[in-house]
Amino acid sequence: MSSTKMILGLFDDPDEMMHGIDQLQKNSVPIYDVYTPMPIHGIEAKLGIKDSRLGYAAFCFGCLGGSVIFSIVYYTLVHDWPMNIGGKPNFPMPNFVPFTFEWTILWTAFGMVATFFFATHLFPGRAPRVMDLRATDDRFVIAIDAKGNVPHEDITRILQDAGAVEIKHNDRKYVSYE
Amino acid sequence: MASHSESIIREPLITGKNITYAQITNDVLFPVENKPNKAWWIGFTLASLGAMLWVFAISWTFWFGIGEWGLNKTVGWAWDITGFVWWVGIGHAGTLISAVLLLFRQNWRNSINRSAEAMTIFAVICAATYIFGHMGRPWLAYWTLPLPNQYGSLWVDWNSALMMDVFAISTYFSVSLVFWYTGLLPDIASIRDRATGLRRRIYSIFSFGWTGSVKTWQRFETVSLILAGISTPLVLSVHTIVSFDFATSLEPGWHTTIFPPYFVAGAIFSGFAMVQTLLLIARKVLGLENYITMFHIESMNKIIILTGSIVGVAYLTEFFIAWYSQSEYEQYAFINRSTGPYWWAYWSMMTCNVITPQLMWFKKIRTSIPASWVLSIIVNIGMWFERFVIIVTSLHRDFLPSSWVMFYPTWVDVSIFIGSIGVFFTMFLLFLRVLPSVAMAEVKLLLKSSSEQAKKKLIEHGHLDKEQVEFYKESLTKYDSVELADYDKA
């Protein structure tokens, strides 16, 4: 049994990489993940990744933020210490608009980005799980789990035919751990 | 799709021959991965001298109080709020470029958004220093927060536009920061994966463990789009609310319903001028001519002329409405502005903001780098005068003629202003050294569709409408980074 853990197909062109994904899928080789230096549109459809639900999170956080600040303003200005300013009504709703608007945006942004970081496991100091160092530079990397996907030569050939510039058989999953 | 080729009549967004993805990384990261050159050191020395002047002058203010400024009991706001509004205005271009232009699918934003957003953040920091500075007792700044206090929970006044400003500016700053940093993650990861030793460790922490896997990118794009969607109304709200500081008062010259749109247009105007001032130099010094091209410069100049004209219309409308209102105090405020003791400030504003930017209608001028740079500086000056005119000329002749005075800045006022420019440039120059000044991942997206080399290949393949090709070649003549001789045979 070989010690290869991951097979990486490195492409220098996004279109050829897409072709590579098609070829692998045609031959029923499951793809572990794909690493690219820039967002490639259409790739998530090929890999069957569902639409992100971050929009729902953003909406909920926005509603929450708006409600929170509206409640604070209402409590302080109307309920706790109503002030008589020249006989004007002490529930001046138009004046609430800027605060409610700003906090809706603030909570949407922070809530959504925090959800994004949480769901994608991004946080300061997280050890980067990089399979190939050039995946953030100029290589479009298709990663295939070598365990159970045999024969490796066939996978290598499919990648080669699809136009991969380099194929790696890595014994370690991540190269970024020293 | 990456293979989709763009219409030939669109000008290229990336110029140069044999640009590869690796080349983009190398070019953009050159200033980050190498020792700075002489130009950087000269700039940094000057900027940090300015920053030191700021530290000295602001410390002086904190020690002796704002009595050290030229303010008097009639003119209670002058260089401080002028500086604040000026900096907030400059801080508007970044979010406009990254959010509004993203929603409009203006791909040329991709190579300038990063540095413009950085500018936004630094400019808002400078603006905030004026707010804390003018409080007199800055250690009590937390009084602007709705906190229960020892006097029996007398809360902040939510009816005040100043309170709205606290919320607007703090939201704007923090959302811009989040937007900017999220966009930086993939590029910090690029630096990390090329670095070794301590540098790698540091960039590793700041990269949050970014890998560029499919799901990360997919969510990243969703986040960017939604952030752009919410930042667009945010950026419009910020200067609207800043204008409330004036518009909700009863001061003649301030009490105007035109203020919100007029301030927003002015902010975008001055923001783009500052982006132009910085990027025209940065592209040369950092060697980014292939990514920040003449098309970018010209597009920004077009926005400057549009917003400058809106500002011009607003100035005239103010005058018209003062006459039309038949309110003699309102009329006096405007006559005094243009012919009173501050006439020179008013006419500097008019010249710099309304008259000289009209020169940009000439294609020769808006595609000339020296002319664009000079005009952008003039706009910066004009926009400073605009705020000075609004604030000081309205205040200096108030309701009681016996208290009419002039405002004279002291050395502290002047030093804080010059110093804040130093603070801004210090932060910007440090940013250029440690972070990529161009969003690499986003520029790489354009390489296959909108680059000069891709379009050249299309021409060489033939099958294109001859007239369109001629039109395209004609449009290339304005570029300073394209070798036209290559097109003679094609």
User: What pLDDT shows up at residue B2?
Assistant: 43
Sign (positive or negative) of CA dihedral B236, B238, B239, B240: positive
Q: What is the extent of the structural domain holding B54?
A: 21-146+157-398+406-450
Q: Is residue A91 part of a domain?
A: yes
Does residue A41 lie in a domain region? no
Q: Which residue of B has its CA nearest to A122?
A: B208
> Would residue B437 count as lying in a domain?
yes
- At residue B16, the 3 state secondary structure works out as coil
Domain assignment present for residue A19? The answer is: yes
Q: Are residues A58 and A114 in the same domain?
A: yes
Over residues B169-195, the mean pLDDT reads 93
What is the rounded average pLDDT for all residues in chain B?
90
* B12 inside domain: no
A175 within some domain:
no
B51 is a domain residue: yes
SS3 B140: helix
pLDDT score at B152: 62
The closest alpha carbon to B102, from B490, B442, B426, B441, belongs to B442
pLDDT over threshold 60, residue B266: yes
| CA–CA gap between residue B154 and residue A82 (Å, rounded) | 10
A134 domain residue, yes or no: no
| Residue-wise DSSP of B306-323 | HHHHHHHHHHHHHHHHHH
Instruction: Tell how far CA B182 is from the center of its chain.
Output: 19
Write out the residue range of the structural domain in which residue A23 sits. 1-35+144-160
Taking the model in full, what pTM does it have?
0.92
A1: enclosing H helix or E strand: none
Q: Indicate whether A63 and A107 sit together in one domain.
A: yes
Question: What average pLDDT does this structure show over A77-103?
Answer: 88
Across chain A, what does the average pLDDT equal?
88
Please check whether residue B251 is in contact with residue B329, taking contact to mean a CB–CB distance below 8 angstroms.
no
Q: pLDDT tens digits for B202-249? A: 999 999 989 999 999 999 999 999 999 999 999 999 999 999 999 998
Q: Once rounded to an integer, what is the mean pLDDT over residues B367-393?
A: 94
**pLDDT at site B4:** 63
Mutation for testing the A interface, residue in B14, B172, B193, B227 having most A CBs under 10 Å: B193
Q: Is residue A77 part of a domain?
A: yes
Task: Look at residue B301 and tell me whether its pLDDT is greater than 90.
Answer: yes
In a domain, B333, yes or no: yes
Q: Is residue B282 part of a domain?
A: yes
Token pair recorded at residue A154: 């066939």
Judge whether residue B489 has pLDDT over 70.
no
CB contact B177 to A (< 8 Å)? no
- The more confident residue out of A175 and B125 is B125
Residue B307 lies in a domain: yes
Cβ contact, residue pair A136, B185, below 8 Å: no
Q: Cβ contact (<8 Å) for A81 and B154?
A: yes
Q: How far apart are CA B366 and CA B339, in angstroms?
A: 32
**Distance, CA of A141 to CA of A167 (rounded, Å):** 9
Task: Name the residue among B25, B156, B207 with its Cβ closest to that of A138.
Answer: B25
Distance CA A107, CA A110 (A): 5
For residues A17 and A58, state if they share a domain: no
Domain membership of residue B107 (yes or no) is yes
Confirm whether B477 is domain-assigned. Answer: no
Mark yes or no for CB contact A49/B214 under 8 Å. yes
Q: Which residues in B lie closer than 8 A to residue A98 (C-beta atoms)?
A: 164, 167-168, 237, 241, 244
Question: How does residue A81 score in pLDDT terms, banded at 50, 70 and 90?
Answer: confident
Query: pLDDT of A138-167, one tens digit each?
Result: 899 999 888 877 788 888 888 888 888 888
How many distinct structural domains can be found in chain A? 2
In chain B, % of residues over pLDDT 90: 64
Our count of domains for chain B comes to 1
Using DSSP bridges, classify how beta strands A33-35 and A140-145 pair: parallel, antiparallel or unpaired. Answer: antiparallel
CB spacing of B218 vs A109 below 8 angstroms: no
